[in-house]
Chain A
Amino acid sequence: MSQLLSTQLLFAALLTGALYGLISLGLNLVYGTLRLLNVAHGDLVMIGAYTAYWAMTLAGIPPVASVFLAAALCAGLGWLAYTALFRRLLANAEIARRLESNSLLVFFGLSIIIQNVFALAFTASPRGYQYLSDVYEFAGVSTSGSRLLSFAVAAGLCAATYLFLRFNLFGLAVRGLIERPAAAEIVGIDVDRVRIVSFCAGFALAGVAGVLVSQTEQINPFMGFPFTITAFVVIILGGLGNIKAGLAASFVLGAIETYGVALTSANLRSVLIYGIFILVLLVRPQGLLGKAAR
């Protein structure tokens, strides 16, 4: 029982929470501005992780630098997906009638294409690398440098994105589009531009999260889906499009997962995550925290 009160476990919960925050922030930006649920979001985390892996093993570029590489790569993929697929999807009347379900199928198709292209190219076997693995001790926490770095970058980026959306003029336009899509257009926000920037930014955040994850966990082509699920849990808990409540929900979920697994067993992790996911969807798909953004 005393193990539950340790700062070690608290740090693990905070780190998980910060990573979930970063991943779900990206998903939220895409959903909020486009009202499209991206089920391929976790695969971008996977792409980021592979970017870091290959940068490190082939060129010796450390994760601190490959973060930028992964962000650029994922943002580029976002631009490609938006201009090639989703503009068309948004423009076609017959598809737009059932747009949300159809876009989900398109994202689902993208997700399995990405996963299997990676499996074909790099095999499905898990990979990993060593980086900043020496252990530091403070306040009863012993942790590797890479975990500290992950936490710092994830928490920092979450805070920076939040502040950007709150104070920057373009950030305000993004929030305007999220909260009042119809009004945003009337007051002269360039909706297409805001959408494409949010789309790319959301993809890039997922790529960065992937780099951070790859430092401490083994990576494989199918690692993304659990992240998609957790990101969905987070943004559904916090309310779709609601950035602040989503960040709060990330830490709640990080704590539930970390303490839940510590109390029971690691085998239960998937059951726990899927269980919460389904419960949340059944009870209140509009979100538990805060008011629903409609």
Chain B
Amino acid sequence: MRAIEPIAWAALVAAGIAVYLGGSVYAVGVAFSLCTAVALTQSWALFSALTGYVSLGAVVFYGLGAYVTVLMFGETPLLLVLAVAALAAGGFAFLIGWPVLRVRGPYFVILSFGLAELVKNLVMLNEDRLGQFSRMMFAAPDLGTLYLLMLGCAIAATLVAWLVRRGRFGDGLRAIRENEEAAETLGVPVTRLKIAAFVLSAIIPGVVGGLATLRTGYFEPSTVFDPTISLSVVTMALVGGGDDTRGPVLGALFFLLLSEVLWARLPQLYVIVLGVMLIAFVLFLPRGIAGLLPKAGGRAT
């Protein structure tokens, strides 16, 4: 396993680049969706799977990134726009981190959902006030460029997830999940670790939201803050296995196949399948698909 794993990762990245170089528009589109899913799910699992603070509001960072991008795009260079999107999402996580992460267990779960809905409604209200119902974006970069950036996000999110999991930082986060009081007593700086992981899990989704909106060239608050996005992310992480760097990639691949088959024709059926998978994996396979694979690299990852 030790020898095969790095090869598998390298092959995935190579395939990602090959699609950019020689893939059809359709293939690039599919790969774009896959990278979006990987980047979002890795980021979610980095915080929620490691600390046990299950968030149902992952979409809020994605949506904020999208909103910042649509507000700024046009006069500002693309990379600067994306940097501000990252900063906005990370900054928001930092601002709400201290009060929000004091709330634990099931209360945190419903709080995270409510928070995302509140931000959605506030953005809708603001757009109403500005007399905007939806916005179109013209002269967006071509799909190839956006895809390369999204591939970069997916690789970065996976690398960050891997680095965090193997270091002391990851051990501290797991300690919070297992027993927060005990961890605190033993000198783990729980509040600082939680906020740091929360911010870290927000930054890349901010960029991803911006890129995804540029791809569609169309912005509507109810689309970019759609709770279905949060749901997909949670389900992908649980199906793949959240406690493992490989899990989110496996989960994203699995749901990519599913959505290619169902999403376009029967979106409601797709969401129903998401719900069924969510329940089935919580009840029968809480470690996800990755839990069925041999452990990576000797130590628990």
Q: B99, B114, B278: which contacts A105 (Cβ < 8 A)?
A: B278
State whether the Cβ of A100 lies closer than 8 Å to any Cβ in chain B.
yes
What residues of B have a CB within 8 angstroms of the CB of A109 in the complex?
274-276, 278-279, 282
Closest-CB distance, A287 to chain B (whole angstroms): 11
Instruction: Give bound CA distance, A285 to B103, whole Å.
Output: 8
B297 to chain A, nearest CB (A): 24
Within 8 A of B (CB), among A100-115: 100-106, 108-113
Distance in Å from the Cβ of A30 to the closest Cβ of chain B?
13
The reply to whether B271 and A281 form a contact with Cβ atoms under 8 Å apart is: no
Could you tell me which residues of chain A, from 237 to 294, have a CB within 8 Å of some CB in chain B? 267-268, 270-271, 274-275, 277-278, 281-282, 285
Q: With a CB–CB cut-off of 8 A, which chain A residues contact B113?
A: 39
Q: Judging by beta carbons under 8 Å apart, are A105 and B234 in contact?
A: yes
Contact B114 A229 (CB under 8 A): yes
The answer to whether B282 and A281 have CB atoms under 8 Å apart is no
A120 to B121, CA, bound (A): 26
Q: Which of B102, B271, B274 has most A Cβ within 10 Å?
A: B271
Bound CA span A275–B92, Å? 17
Is A135 in contact with chain B by the CB < 8 A criterion?
no
A117 within 8 A of B: yes
Interface size range of chain A in the complex? 35 or more
Bound complex: CA of A106 vs CA of B286, how far in Å?
12
In the complex with contacts A101-B105, A109-B282, A281-B111, A271-B269 CB distance below 8 A: no
Binds B, one of A12-20, A88-96, A182-190: A88-96
- Minimum CB–CB distance from A188 to chain B (whole Å) comes to 29
The DSSP consensus for interface residues of chain A is helix
Flag B272-289 by CB within 8 Å of A: 1 or 0 each: 101110110011001000
Chain B residue nearest to A240 (CB atoms) is B107
> Chain B, 103-131, contact with A by CB distance < 8 Å: what is the 0/1 string?
10111011101110110011001001000
Question: Chain B nearest CB: distance from A116 CB in Å?
Answer: 4
**B220, chain A: closest CB distance, angstroms:** 16
Query: Residue B238 at the A interface, CB < 8 A?
Result: yes
Tell whether, in the assembled complex, residue B272 and residue A278 are in contact, meaning their CB atoms are under 8 Å apart.
no
Interchain CB contact under 8 A, B268 and A119 = yes
Query: A39 and B110: CB pair below 8 A?
Result: yes
User: Which residues of B are found within 8 Å of A112, using beta-carbon distances?
Assistant: 231, 271-272, 274-275
Distance, CA A37 to CA B107, complexed state (A):
9
For the complex, is B52 an interface residue (Cβ under 8 Å from A)? yes
In contact, A271 and B278 (Cβ under 8 angstroms):
no
Residue count of chain B within 8 Å CB distance of chain A: 38
Q: Which one of A104, A116, A117, A270 contacts B106 once the chains associate, using CB atoms below 8 Å?
A: A104
Which residues of chain B are near A227, meaning CB under 8 Å?
Answer: none
- The reply to whether A88 and B283 contact each other, CB–CB distance below 8 Å, is yes
Residues of the B chain whose Cβ atoms lie less than 8 Å from the Cβ of A116: 268-269, 271-272, 275
Choose among A85, A95, A102, A109 the residue with the greatest number of B CB atoms under 10 Å from its CB: A109
With a CB–CB cut-off of 8 A, which chain B residues contact A88?
A: 283
Q: Is there contact, CB below 8 Å, between B110 and A232?
A: yes
Interface: B100 (CB within 8 A) = yes
Q: How far is the CB of B271 from chain A (nearest CB, A)?
A: 5
Contact check, B286 vs A101: say whether CB atoms are below 8 A apart: no
Is B56 an interface residue, CB under 8 A from the partner? yes
A101 and B117 contact, CB distance less than 8 A: no
Verify if B54 is at the interface (C-beta below 8 Å from A).
yes
Q: Which residue of B lies closest to A98 (CB)?
A: B52
User: What is the CB-to-nearest-CB distance from A50 to chain B, in angstroms, rounded to a whole number?
Assistant: 16
How far is it, in angstroms, between the C-alpha of A92 and the C-alpha of B285 when the chains are bound? 12
Among B244-301, those with CB < 8 Å from A are: 266, 268-269, 271-272, 274-276, 278-279, 282-283, 286
Q: Kindly provide the distance from the CB of A32 to the nearest chain B CB, expressed in whole angstroms.
A: 14
A40 to B117, CA, bound (A): 16
Say yes or no: A105-B268 contact (C-beta < 8 A), given A112-B274, A267-B125.
no
What are the 7 closest A-B residue pairs judged by CB atoms, nearest first?
A: A274-B118, A109-B278, A113-B275, A109-B279, A109-B275, A100-B106, A112-B275
Hey, which bits of chain B sit against chain A, CB under 8 A? 52, 54, 56, 99-100, 102-103, 105-107, 109-111, 113-115, 117-118, 121-122, 125, 128, 231, 234, 238, 266, 268-269, 271-272, 274-276, 278-279, 282-283, 286
